[in-house]
Amino acid sequence: LTKEEVERLLSSCTEGFYPFVYTALNTGMRKSELTYLRWKDVDLDKRKITVHSREDWQSKSGKSRTVDINDNLFRFLKEYRHQRSEYVFCTKDGHPLANNLNRRFRNAAKRAGLSGISIHNLRHTFASHLVMAGVPLGTVSKLLGHADIKTTMIYVHLSCDHLKEAVNKVNF
């Protein structure tokens, strides 16, 4: 998604769904990692989120990893912190925000005038914008929790404008 599309998507999210989408865009975390994220795994002092398997949920690789919290997400999470559940993204009654996530996303995307995208596109958007900002692929791979940089290459979609800028850096 372009920055303009991201802005439209965020403005189209319901109040209860916005925090989930905003965090996904700023961390590149997987849908399931966000769904079962607990406050005790969010360390605002160190600005880190720990993703690890538990009895009730398995991470994709089964391994633990940490995700850094950027400045914007840090400010957001400080304001957003609620006490109704151990889960960061939850329903009003405290259950993980697991039901109807895909439907919620499709509805927000439709209101934003976007089609053919899924929640997983937020992870692709995170990776692509990091690469377009000049972040090395190895770093992006680590941020996404990939064991192999080849997997990261699947996530990297560069905008046409970025490609034009890149080719203009060669000037013979």
Q: Compute the distance between CA of residue 13 and CA of residue 10 in angstroms, rounded to an integer.
A: 5
Please indicate whether residue 52 is annotated as part of the active site.
no
* Catalytic annotation, pick one of 22, 36, 87, 155: 155
111 catalytic? Reply is no
Active-site choice (120, 142, 157, 162):
120
Question: Which residue out of 60, 63, 75, 82 is catalytically annotated?
Answer: 60
Contact between 55 and 39 under an 8 Å Cβ cutoff? The reply is no
Specify whether 65 is catalytic. Answer: no
169 flagged as catalytic:
no
Give the pair of three-digit tokens for residue 105. 């996303």
> Which one of 31, 104, 123, 129 is the catalytic residue?
123
Does 129 participate in catalysis according to the annotation? no
Question: Catalytic pick from 30, 31, 104, 124?
Answer: 30
Tell me if residue 82 is catalytic.
no
Q: What are the residue numbers of the active site?
A: 30, 60, 120, 123, 146, 155
